Protein backbone atom coordinates (compact mmCIF):
# COMPACT_ATOMS: atom_id res chain seq x y z
CA UNK A 1 0.00 0.00 0.00
CA UNK A 2 1.10 3.53 -0.73
CA UNK A 3 1.86 6.15 1.87
CA UNK A 4 -0.93 8.73 2.05
CA UNK A 5 0.45 12.21 1.48
CA UNK A 6 -1.56 15.41 1.57
CA UNK A 7 -0.73 18.95 0.59
CA UNK A 8 -0.77 21.08 3.72
CA UNK A 9 -1.57 24.73 2.95
CA UNK A 10 0.20 25.66 6.14
CA UNK A 11 3.60 24.32 5.11
CA UNK A 12 2.91 24.41 1.37
CA UNK A 13 4.27 20.87 1.16
CA UNK A 14 3.14 17.28 0.74
CA UNK A 15 3.14 15.53 4.11
CA UNK A 16 2.52 11.97 5.21
CA UNK A 17 -0.65 11.48 7.20
CA UNK A 18 -0.05 10.57 10.87
CA UNK A 19 -3.27 11.01 12.84
CA UNK A 20 -3.13 12.16 16.47
CA UNK A 21 -5.19 9.12 17.45
CA UNK A 22 -3.73 6.16 15.56
CA UNK A 23 -6.35 4.50 13.38
CA UNK A 24 -8.75 7.44 13.47
CA UNK A 25 -8.70 10.58 11.38
CA UNK A 26 -10.48 13.59 12.80
CA UNK A 27 -11.64 16.10 10.23
CA UNK A 28 -13.39 19.42 10.51
CA UNK A 29 -15.15 20.75 7.44
CA UNK A 30 -16.58 24.21 7.04
CA UNK A 31 -20.11 23.50 5.92
CA UNK A 32 -22.72 25.57 4.12
CA UNK A 33 -23.91 29.02 5.04
CA UNK A 34 -27.62 28.44 4.79
CA UNK A 35 -28.96 31.75 3.51
CA UNK A 36 -29.67 30.32 0.06
CA UNK A 37 -29.39 26.97 -1.76
CA UNK A 38 -25.88 25.67 -2.14
CA UNK A 39 -24.54 25.89 -5.70
CA UNK A 40 -22.43 23.35 -7.53
CA UNK A 41 -19.28 25.31 -6.66
CA UNK A 42 -19.97 24.56 -3.03
CA UNK A 43 -20.53 20.92 -3.94
CA UNK A 44 -17.15 20.80 -5.63
CA UNK A 45 -15.61 21.35 -2.22
CA UNK A 46 -18.04 19.03 -0.42
CA UNK A 47 -17.39 16.36 -3.04
CA UNK A 48 -13.65 16.54 -2.44
CA UNK A 49 -14.30 16.02 1.25
CA UNK A 50 -16.48 13.03 0.46
CA UNK A 51 -13.73 11.43 -1.63
CA UNK A 52 -11.21 12.13 1.13
CA UNK A 53 -13.31 10.48 3.83
CA UNK A 54 -14.30 7.54 1.64
CA UNK A 55 -10.69 6.93 0.71
CA UNK A 56 -9.49 7.09 4.32
CA UNK A 57 -12.18 4.59 5.28
CA UNK A 58 -11.26 2.35 2.36
CA UNK A 59 -7.73 2.41 3.74
CA UNK A 60 -8.99 1.15 7.08
CA UNK A 61 -9.13 4.35 9.10
CA UNK A 62 -12.15 5.26 11.09
CA UNK A 63 -13.20 8.81 10.31
CA UNK A 64 -14.68 11.31 12.70
CA UNK A 65 -15.81 14.24 10.59
CA UNK A 66 -17.60 17.27 11.90
CA UNK A 67 -19.31 19.68 9.54
CA UNK A 68 -20.87 22.87 10.76
CA UNK A 69 -23.89 24.59 9.36
CA UNK A 70 -23.54 28.35 9.57
CA UNK A 71 -27.07 29.34 10.47
CA UNK A 72 -26.25 32.79 11.83
CA UNK A 73 -24.15 35.42 10.05
CA UNK A 74 -24.54 38.86 8.50
CA UNK A 75 -26.23 37.63 5.32
CA UNK A 76 -28.61 35.27 7.11
CA UNK A 77 -29.72 37.98 9.48
CA UNK A 78 -30.38 40.35 6.58
CA UNK A 79 -32.17 37.76 4.46
CA UNK A 80 -34.35 36.49 7.33
CA UNK A 81 -35.30 40.06 8.25
CA UNK A 82 -36.18 40.77 4.62
CA UNK A 83 -38.37 37.65 4.56
CA UNK A 84 -39.98 38.67 7.86
CA UNK A 85 -39.17 35.39 9.65
CA UNK A 86 -36.85 34.28 12.44
CA UNK A 87 -33.38 33.00 11.52
CA UNK A 88 -34.17 29.46 12.64
CA UNK A 89 -37.25 29.26 10.45
CA UNK A 90 -35.43 30.94 7.59
CA UNK A 91 -32.46 28.55 7.66
CA UNK A 92 -34.44 25.33 8.29
CA UNK A 93 -35.59 25.07 4.69
CA UNK A 94 -32.07 25.50 3.30
CA UNK A 95 -30.68 22.90 5.67
CA UNK A 96 -33.37 20.52 4.51
CA UNK A 97 -32.52 21.25 0.87
CA UNK A 98 -28.81 20.75 1.58
CA UNK A 99 -29.45 17.32 3.08
CA UNK A 100 -31.51 16.33 0.05
CA UNK A 101 -28.76 17.55 -2.27
CA UNK A 102 -25.96 15.64 -0.59
CA UNK A 103 -28.12 12.53 -0.59
CA UNK A 104 -28.75 12.94 -4.33
CA UNK A 105 -24.99 13.17 -4.93
CA UNK A 106 -24.14 10.20 -2.69
CA UNK A 107 -22.08 12.47 -0.45
CA UNK A 108 -21.80 10.67 2.87
CA UNK A 109 -23.14 12.38 5.95
CA UNK A 110 -20.41 13.47 8.34
CA UNK A 111 -20.50 11.83 11.75
CA UNK A 112 -21.60 15.15 13.23
CA UNK A 113 -23.52 17.84 11.36
CA UNK A 114 -23.85 20.70 13.81
CA UNK A 115 -25.67 24.02 13.77
CA UNK A 116 -23.96 27.15 15.03
CA UNK A 117 -27.07 28.37 16.85
CA UNK A 118 -27.07 25.16 18.94
CA UNK A 119 -23.58 26.02 20.22
CA UNK A 120 -23.84 29.58 21.49
CA UNK A 121 -22.83 28.44 24.98
CA UNK A 122 -19.64 26.81 23.64
CA UNK A 123 -18.74 30.01 21.82
CA UNK A 124 -19.39 32.13 24.88
CA UNK A 125 -17.15 29.85 26.95
CA UNK A 126 -14.36 30.12 24.37
CA UNK A 127 -14.64 33.92 24.25
CA UNK A 128 -14.48 34.00 28.07
CA UNK A 129 -11.28 31.98 27.91
CA UNK A 130 -9.80 34.47 25.46
CA UNK A 131 -10.89 37.34 27.70
CA UNK A 132 -9.14 35.73 30.67
CA UNK A 133 -5.97 35.46 28.63
CA UNK A 134 -6.13 39.15 27.72
CA UNK A 135 -6.58 38.51 23.99
CA UNK A 136 -9.71 40.64 23.59
CA UNK A 137 -11.17 44.08 24.15
CA UNK A 138 -14.66 45.45 24.11
CA UNK A 139 -15.88 48.40 22.11
CA UNK A 140 -19.51 49.54 21.95
CA UNK A 141 -20.70 46.21 23.35
CA UNK A 142 -18.83 44.12 20.73
CA UNK A 143 -15.85 41.96 21.66
CA UNK A 144 -12.81 41.90 19.38
CA UNK A 145 -9.78 39.65 19.10
CA UNK A 146 -6.61 41.73 19.37
CA UNK A 147 -4.38 40.25 16.70
CA UNK A 148 -1.26 42.08 17.89
CA UNK A 149 -1.40 39.74 20.91
CA UNK A 150 -1.05 36.71 18.67
CA UNK A 151 2.33 37.00 16.96
CA UNK A 152 1.71 34.05 14.67
CA UNK A 153 -1.27 35.81 13.04
CA UNK A 154 -1.03 35.45 9.28
CA UNK A 155 1.00 32.23 9.25
CA UNK A 156 -1.55 30.24 7.26
CA UNK A 157 -2.31 32.80 4.57
CA UNK A 158 1.23 34.25 4.74
CA UNK A 159 0.17 37.84 5.24
CA UNK A 160 2.35 40.39 6.90
CA UNK A 161 0.50 42.34 9.57
CA UNK A 162 3.54 44.09 11.04
CA UNK A 163 2.53 47.50 9.67
CA UNK A 164 -1.02 47.17 10.87
CA UNK A 165 -2.51 50.00 12.83
CA UNK A 166 -3.17 48.82 16.41
CA UNK A 167 -6.83 48.90 17.40
CA UNK A 168 -8.22 49.04 13.84
CA UNK A 169 -11.29 46.82 13.75
CA UNK A 170 -13.46 45.00 11.26
CA UNK A 171 -17.07 44.11 11.99
CA UNK A 172 -18.14 42.26 8.87
CA UNK A 173 -17.64 38.50 8.71
CA UNK A 174 -15.98 38.51 5.30
CA UNK A 175 -13.17 40.85 4.26
CA UNK A 176 -10.03 40.95 2.14
CA UNK A 177 -6.41 40.50 3.17
CA UNK A 178 -5.72 44.22 2.83
CA UNK A 179 -8.27 44.73 5.55
CA UNK A 180 -6.66 42.47 8.13
CA UNK A 181 -7.78 43.96 11.43
CA UNK A 182 -8.91 43.01 14.90
CA UNK A 183 -12.03 40.98 14.19
CA UNK A 184 -15.32 40.59 16.02
CA UNK A 185 -15.78 37.55 18.25
CA UNK A 186 -19.10 38.79 19.54
CA UNK A 187 -21.27 41.49 18.02
CA UNK A 188 -23.45 43.87 19.98
CA UNK A 189 -27.11 43.67 18.98
CA UNK A 190 -28.40 46.08 16.37
CA UNK A 191 -32.00 47.27 16.31
CA UNK A 192 -34.32 44.57 15.02
CA UNK A 193 -31.58 41.92 14.85
CA UNK A 194 -31.73 38.52 16.44
CA UNK A 195 -29.53 38.31 19.60
CA UNK A 196 -28.79 36.09 22.59
CA UNK A 197 -28.60 37.16 26.26
CA UNK A 198 -25.37 35.63 27.59
CA UNK A 199 -22.71 35.99 30.30
CA UNK A 200 -20.61 38.13 27.96
CA UNK A 201 -23.56 40.40 27.23
CA UNK A 202 -26.35 40.47 24.67
CA UNK A 203 -25.41 39.89 21.05
CA UNK A 204 -24.51 37.26 18.50
CA UNK A 205 -21.34 35.43 17.55
CA UNK A 206 -19.04 36.44 14.70
CA UNK A 207 -18.69 33.82 12.00
CA UNK A 208 -15.17 32.64 12.88
CA UNK A 209 -15.69 31.73 16.52
CA UNK A 210 -18.33 29.13 15.68
CA UNK A 211 -15.90 26.89 13.85
CA UNK A 212 -13.22 27.07 16.56
CA UNK A 213 -15.77 26.29 19.27
CA UNK A 214 -17.46 23.40 17.48
CA UNK A 215 -14.27 21.90 16.07
CA UNK A 216 -12.61 21.67 19.49
CA UNK A 217 -15.77 20.55 21.24
CA UNK A 218 -16.15 17.45 19.07
CA UNK A 219 -12.61 16.76 17.94
CA UNK A 220 -10.32 17.93 20.75
CA UNK A 221 -7.78 20.77 20.78
CA UNK A 222 -5.71 19.40 17.88
CA UNK A 223 -7.43 18.17 14.72
CA UNK A 224 -5.81 16.05 12.05
CA UNK A 225 -7.37 17.77 9.07
CA UNK A 226 -9.37 20.92 8.46
CA UNK A 227 -10.91 21.44 5.02
CA UNK A 228 -12.66 24.18 3.07
CA UNK A 229 -12.54 26.06 -0.20
CA UNK A 230 -9.53 28.30 -0.91
CA UNK A 231 -11.59 31.41 -0.25
CA UNK A 232 -11.79 30.41 3.41
CA UNK A 233 -8.05 30.42 4.15
CA UNK A 234 -8.24 34.15 4.80
CA UNK A 235 -9.75 35.49 6.97
CA UNK A 236 -11.84 32.59 8.24
CA UNK A 237 -9.21 29.94 8.87
CA UNK A 238 -6.56 32.45 9.90
CA UNK A 239 -8.97 33.69 12.54
CA UNK A 240 -9.86 30.15 13.62
CA UNK A 241 -6.16 29.46 14.25
CA UNK A 242 -5.75 32.68 16.25
CA UNK A 243 -8.80 32.04 18.45
CA UNK A 244 -8.11 28.36 19.05
CA UNK A 245 -4.36 28.49 19.61
CA UNK A 246 -4.57 31.60 21.78
CA UNK A 247 -7.10 29.74 23.96
CA UNK A 248 -5.36 26.34 24.21
CA UNK A 249 -1.69 27.06 23.57
CA UNK A 250 -1.68 24.00 21.28
CA UNK A 251 -1.53 23.47 17.55
CA UNK A 252 -5.13 23.70 16.32
CA UNK A 253 -4.80 21.84 13.02
CA UNK A 254 -2.09 19.58 11.68
CA UNK A 255 -3.09 19.58 8.03
CA UNK A 256 -5.04 22.29 6.22
CA UNK A 257 -6.57 21.22 2.91
CA UNK A 258 -8.10 23.78 0.59
CA UNK A 259 -10.08 22.98 -2.54
CA UNK A 260 -9.66 25.21 -5.56
CA UNK A 261 -12.74 26.78 -7.00
CA UNK A 262 -15.18 25.64 -9.56
CA UNK A 263 -15.23 28.36 -12.17
CA UNK A 264 -17.62 29.26 -14.95
CA UNK A 265 -16.62 31.49 -17.85
CA UNK A 266 -13.38 32.32 -16.07
CA UNK A 267 -15.00 33.44 -12.81
CA UNK A 268 -15.52 31.79 -9.45
CA UNK A 269 -19.07 30.49 -9.24
CA UNK A 270 -20.60 32.33 -6.32
CA UNK A 271 -23.87 33.35 -4.84
CA UNK A 272 -22.82 36.99 -4.67
CA UNK A 273 -21.84 37.14 -8.36
CA UNK A 274 -25.12 35.48 -9.33
CA UNK A 275 -23.36 33.23 -11.89
CA UNK A 276 -24.36 29.98 -10.29
CA UNK A 277 -26.29 26.78 -10.89
CA UNK A 278 -27.87 24.88 -8.09
CA UNK A 279 -28.03 21.13 -8.37
CA UNK A 280 -31.74 21.36 -9.05
CA UNK A 281 -31.13 23.77 -11.95
CA UNK A 282 -29.01 21.06 -13.55
CA UNK A 283 -31.44 18.25 -12.75
CA UNK A 284 -34.24 20.29 -14.28
CA UNK A 285 -32.15 20.54 -17.47
CA UNK A 286 -32.00 16.74 -17.62
CA UNK A 287 -28.60 16.10 -16.04
CA UNK A 288 -28.34 13.09 -13.76
CA UNK A 289 -27.02 13.16 -10.19
CA UNK A 290 -24.33 10.63 -11.13
CA UNK A 291 -23.17 12.85 -14.02
CA UNK A 292 -22.65 15.74 -11.66
CA UNK A 293 -20.95 13.52 -9.11
CA UNK A 294 -18.54 12.30 -11.79
CA UNK A 295 -17.83 15.78 -13.06
CA UNK A 296 -17.18 17.20 -9.59
CA UNK A 297 -14.87 14.40 -8.50
CA UNK A 298 -12.98 14.03 -11.76
CA UNK A 299 -10.73 17.08 -11.34
CA UNK A 300 -8.17 16.87 -8.50
CA UNK A 301 -9.12 19.25 -5.72
CA UNK A 302 -6.11 21.55 -6.05
CA UNK A 303 -6.90 22.29 -9.68
CA UNK A 304 -9.64 24.68 -10.71
CA UNK A 305 -12.63 22.94 -12.18
CA UNK A 306 -13.90 24.64 -15.29
CA UNK A 307 -17.61 23.92 -15.52
CA UNK A 308 -18.87 23.38 -19.09
CA UNK A 309 -21.67 21.60 -20.96
CA UNK A 310 -18.98 19.58 -22.72
CA UNK A 311 -17.68 18.44 -19.34
CA UNK A 312 -21.16 17.30 -18.35
CA UNK A 313 -21.52 15.30 -21.54
CA UNK A 314 -18.18 13.58 -20.99
CA UNK A 315 -19.06 12.87 -17.37
CA UNK A 316 -22.30 11.25 -18.43
CA UNK A 317 -20.58 9.07 -21.02
CA UNK A 318 -17.82 8.08 -18.61
CA UNK A 319 -20.29 7.05 -15.92
CA UNK A 320 -22.21 4.99 -18.45
CA UNK A 321 -19.01 3.33 -19.57
CA UNK A 322 -18.28 2.20 -16.03
CA UNK A 323 -21.80 0.93 -15.49
CA UNK A 324 -21.88 -0.88 -18.82
CA UNK A 325 -18.58 -2.55 -18.04
CA UNK A 326 -19.88 -4.01 -14.78
CA UNK A 327 -23.10 -5.10 -16.49
CA UNK A 328 -21.02 -6.88 -19.12
CA UNK A 329 -18.86 -8.53 -16.43
CA UNK A 330 -21.96 -9.87 -14.74
CA UNK A 331 -24.01 -10.83 -17.79
CA UNK A 332 -21.60 -12.25 -20.35
CA UNK A 333 -20.58 -15.89 -20.53
CA UNK A 334 -16.79 -16.13 -20.75
CA UNK A 335 -14.74 -19.19 -21.75
CA UNK A 336 -13.57 -21.32 -18.82
CA UNK A 337 -10.27 -20.57 -17.09
CA UNK A 338 -8.34 -17.59 -15.81
CA UNK A 339 -6.04 -15.41 -17.87
CA UNK A 340 -3.03 -14.38 -15.72
CA UNK A 341 -2.42 -11.39 -17.95
CA UNK A 342 -5.90 -10.06 -17.09
CA UNK A 343 -5.29 -10.77 -13.39
CA UNK A 344 -2.10 -8.72 -13.64
CA UNK A 345 -3.99 -5.85 -15.25
CA UNK A 346 -6.54 -5.92 -12.44
CA UNK A 347 -3.81 -5.83 -9.78
CA UNK A 348 -2.07 -2.95 -11.55
CA UNK A 349 -5.32 -0.99 -11.69
CA UNK A 350 -5.92 -1.55 -7.98
CA UNK A 351 -2.44 -0.36 -7.11
CA UNK A 352 -2.57 2.65 -9.42
CA UNK A 353 -5.96 3.67 -8.07
CA UNK A 354 -4.59 3.60 -4.54
CA UNK A 355 -1.39 5.36 -5.58
CA UNK A 356 -3.39 8.15 -7.22
CA UNK A 357 -5.56 8.80 -4.20
CA UNK A 358 -2.60 8.46 -1.83
CA UNK A 359 -0.90 11.20 -3.82
CA UNK A 360 -2.89 14.10 -2.38
CA UNK A 361 -6.23 12.62 -3.49
CA UNK A 362 -5.37 12.74 -7.17
CA UNK A 363 -8.71 11.61 -8.55
CA UNK A 364 -7.60 12.06 -12.16
CA UNK A 365 -4.86 9.48 -11.65
CA UNK A 366 -7.25 7.16 -9.85
CA UNK A 367 -9.84 7.41 -12.63
CA UNK A 368 -7.19 6.83 -15.28
CA UNK A 369 -6.33 3.55 -13.55
CA UNK A 370 -9.98 2.48 -13.61
CA UNK A 371 -10.51 3.39 -17.26
CA UNK A 372 -7.29 1.63 -18.26
CA UNK A 373 -8.67 -1.53 -16.75
CA UNK A 374 -12.04 -1.04 -18.46
CA UNK A 375 -10.36 -0.61 -21.81
CA UNK A 376 -7.97 -3.54 -21.41
CA UNK A 377 -10.65 -5.89 -20.12
CA UNK A 378 -13.15 -4.91 -22.83
CA UNK A 379 -10.48 -5.56 -25.46
CA UNK A 380 -9.67 -8.91 -23.88
CA UNK A 381 -13.39 -9.83 -23.90
CA UNK A 382 -13.69 -8.92 -27.56
CA UNK A 383 -10.72 -11.18 -28.34
CA UNK A 384 -12.06 -14.04 -26.20
CA UNK A 385 -9.05 -13.67 -23.88
CA UNK A 386 -11.07 -12.63 -20.82
CA UNK A 387 -11.95 -15.84 -19.00
CA UNK A 388 -14.60 -16.96 -16.53
CA UNK A 389 -12.36 -16.82 -13.47
CA UNK A 390 -11.28 -13.27 -14.28
CA UNK A 391 -14.82 -11.96 -13.87
CA UNK A 392 -15.08 -12.19 -10.06
CA UNK A 393 -11.70 -10.46 -9.59
CA UNK A 394 -12.66 -7.69 -11.99
CA UNK A 395 -16.03 -7.22 -10.29
CA UNK A 396 -14.33 -7.12 -6.86
CA UNK A 397 -11.89 -4.48 -8.11
CA UNK A 398 -14.71 -2.35 -9.52
CA UNK A 399 -16.54 -2.60 -6.21
CA UNK A 400 -13.41 -1.53 -4.36
CA UNK A 401 -13.09 1.51 -6.61
CA UNK A 402 -16.73 2.27 -6.12
CA UNK A 403 -16.41 2.41 -2.33
CA UNK A 404 -14.66 5.72 -3.10
CA UNK A 405 -16.26 6.78 -6.39
CA UNK A 406 -19.89 5.78 -5.64
CA UNK A 407 -20.97 5.87 -9.28
CA UNK A 408 -22.03 2.34 -10.12
CA UNK A 409 -25.42 2.05 -8.46
CA UNK A 410 -27.86 3.23 -11.10
CA UNK A 411 -30.32 5.03 -8.84
CA UNK A 412 -30.49 8.37 -10.64
CA UNK A 413 -34.19 8.13 -11.32
CA UNK A 414 -34.94 7.24 -7.72
CA UNK A 415 -32.81 10.12 -6.42
CA UNK A 416 -34.61 12.54 -8.71
CA UNK A 417 -38.02 11.18 -7.85
CA UNK A 418 -37.24 11.90 -4.20
CA UNK A 419 -36.73 15.51 -5.21
CA UNK A 420 -39.93 15.52 -7.25
CA UNK A 421 -38.06 15.78 -10.56
CA UNK A 422 -38.60 13.42 -13.50
CA UNK A 423 -35.57 12.27 -15.42
CA UNK A 424 -35.79 14.09 -18.74
CA UNK A 425 -35.44 11.89 -21.79
CA UNK A 426 -32.27 12.64 -23.68
CA UNK A 427 -33.09 14.84 -26.63
CA UNK A 428 -32.88 13.42 -30.12
CA UNK A 429 -30.33 14.92 -32.45
CA UNK A 430 -31.67 17.00 -35.34
CA UNK A 431 -30.48 14.29 -37.79
CA UNK A 432 -32.58 11.69 -35.96
CA UNK A 433 -35.57 14.01 -35.91
CA UNK A 434 -35.30 14.87 -39.58
CA UNK A 435 -34.88 11.20 -40.45
CA UNK A 436 -38.14 10.38 -38.65
CA UNK A 437 -39.94 13.28 -40.30
CA UNK A 438 -38.88 12.02 -43.73
CA UNK A 439 -40.07 8.55 -42.84
CA UNK A 440 -43.41 10.01 -41.72
CA UNK A 441 -43.83 11.95 -44.96
CA UNK A 442 -43.14 8.76 -46.91
CA UNK A 443 -45.67 6.83 -44.79
CA UNK A 444 -48.31 9.49 -45.43
CA UNK A 445 -47.64 9.36 -49.15
CA UNK A 446 -48.33 5.65 -49.24
CA UNK A 447 -51.41 6.35 -47.01
CA UNK A 448 -49.94 4.33 -44.09
CA UNK A 449 -51.53 6.59 -41.48
CA UNK A 450 -50.93 4.14 -38.68
CA UNK A 451 -47.20 4.43 -39.20
CA UNK A 452 -47.26 8.20 -39.65
CA UNK A 453 -49.21 8.62 -36.38
CA UNK A 454 -46.79 6.31 -34.60
CA UNK A 455 -43.89 8.49 -35.68
CA UNK A 456 -45.66 11.67 -34.63
CA UNK A 457 -46.25 10.07 -31.21
CA UNK A 458 -42.65 8.91 -30.92
CA UNK A 459 -41.45 12.45 -31.57
CA UNK A 460 -43.96 13.87 -29.09
CA UNK A 461 -42.71 11.42 -26.43
CA UNK A 462 -39.22 12.78 -26.95
CA UNK A 463 -40.46 16.33 -26.49
CA UNK A 464 -40.58 17.26 -30.18
CA UNK A 465 -43.58 18.97 -31.75
CA UNK A 466 -44.12 18.88 -35.49
CA UNK A 467 -46.22 21.22 -37.48
CA UNK A 468 -47.52 20.56 -41.01
CA UNK A 469 -47.27 23.81 -42.95
CA UNK A 470 -49.74 24.83 -45.68
CA UNK A 471 -47.07 24.60 -48.39
CA UNK A 472 -46.55 20.94 -47.51
CA UNK A 473 -43.29 21.53 -45.63
CA UNK A 474 -42.86 20.45 -42.04
CA UNK A 475 -41.50 22.40 -39.11
CA UNK A 476 -40.39 20.98 -35.80
CA UNK A 477 -39.43 22.37 -32.43
CA UNK A 478 -38.62 21.23 -28.91
CA UNK A 479 -41.59 21.41 -26.55
P1 LIG B 1 -20.46 28.84 1.89
O2 LIG B 1 -21.84 28.22 1.90
O3 LIG B 1 -20.38 30.08 1.05
O4 LIG B 1 -19.96 29.08 3.29
O5 LIG B 1 -19.47 27.82 1.19
C6 LIG B 1 -19.40 26.44 1.52
C7 LIG B 1 -18.12 25.85 0.95
O8 LIG B 1 -18.07 25.97 -0.47
C9 LIG B 1 -16.85 26.53 1.46
O10 LIG B 1 -15.87 25.54 1.72
C11 LIG B 1 -16.44 27.41 0.31
O12 LIG B 1 -15.05 27.66 0.31
C13 LIG B 1 -16.83 26.53 -0.86
N14 LIG B 1 -17.01 27.26 -2.14
C15 LIG B 1 -17.69 28.40 -2.37
N16 LIG B 1 -17.67 28.74 -3.70
C17 LIG B 1 -16.97 27.76 -4.32
C18 LIG B 1 -16.60 27.49 -5.70
N19 LIG B 1 -16.95 28.30 -6.70
N20 LIG B 1 -15.86 26.39 -5.95
C21 LIG B 1 -15.49 25.56 -4.95
N22 LIG B 1 -15.82 25.73 -3.66
C23 LIG B 1 -16.55 26.82 -3.33
ZN1 LIG C 1 -15.66 27.43 9.23
pLDDT in tens, the chain (479 residues): 899 999 999 999 999 999 999 999 999 999 999 999 999 999 999 999 999 999 999 999 999 999 999 999 988 998 998 899 999 999 999 999 999 999 999 999 999 999 999 999 999 999 999 999 999 999 999 999 999 999 999 999 998 887 777 788 988 888 888 788 999 999 999 888 889 999 999 999 999 999 999 999 999 999 999 999 999 999 999 999 999 999 999 999 999 999 999 999 889 999 888 899 999 999 999 999 999 999 999 999 999 999 999 999 999 999 999 999 999 999 999 999 999 999 999 999 999 999 999 999 999 999 999 999 999 999 999 999 999 999 999 999 999 999 999 999 999 999 999 998 876 555 677 778 888 888 998 998 899 999 988 888 888 877 777 888 777 778 877 65
Nearest ligand to the CA of 232 is 1
Q: Is the CB of 45 under 6 A from ligand 1?
A: yes
Q: Which atom of ligand 1 is nearest to the CA of 263?
A: 19
Burial class of 249 by CB neighbour count within 10 A (0 to 12, 13 to 18, 19+)? exposed
Q: Is the CB of 33 under 6 A from ligand 1?
A: yes
Distance 21 CA to ligand 2 centre (A): 23
Q: Is the CB of 48 under 6 A from ligand 1?
A: no
Q: Is the CB of 79 under 6 A from ligand 1?
A: no
Q: Is the CB of 91 under 6 A from ligand 1?
A: no
Distance 302 CA to ligand 1 centre (A): 14
pTM of this prediction?
A: 0.88
Burial class of 368 by CB neighbour count within 10 A (0 to 12, 13 to 18, 19+)? middle
The whole-number pLDDT of residue 3 equals 98
pLDDT tens digits, one per residue of 322-347: 999 999 999 999 999 999 999 999 99
Distance 295 CA to ligand 2 centre (A): 25
Residue among 40, 45, 262 whose CB has most ligand 1 atoms within 8 A, to mutate: 45
Q: Which atom of ligand 1 is nearest to the CA of 33?
A: 2
Amino acid sequence: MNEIRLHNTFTNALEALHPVHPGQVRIYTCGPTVYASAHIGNFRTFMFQDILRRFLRARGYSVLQVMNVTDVDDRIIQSAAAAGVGIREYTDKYIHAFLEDIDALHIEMPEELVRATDHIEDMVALIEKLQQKGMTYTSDGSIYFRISKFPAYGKLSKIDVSGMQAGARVDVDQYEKENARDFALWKAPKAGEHFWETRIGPGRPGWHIECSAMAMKYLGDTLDIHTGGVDLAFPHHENEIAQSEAATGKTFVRTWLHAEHLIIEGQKMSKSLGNFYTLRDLFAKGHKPSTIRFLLLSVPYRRQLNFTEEGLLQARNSTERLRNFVTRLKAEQFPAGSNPEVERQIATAENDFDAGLSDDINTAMALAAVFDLVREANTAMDRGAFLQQNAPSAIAAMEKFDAVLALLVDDDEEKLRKLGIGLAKPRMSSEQIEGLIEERTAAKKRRDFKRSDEIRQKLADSGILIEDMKDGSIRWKYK
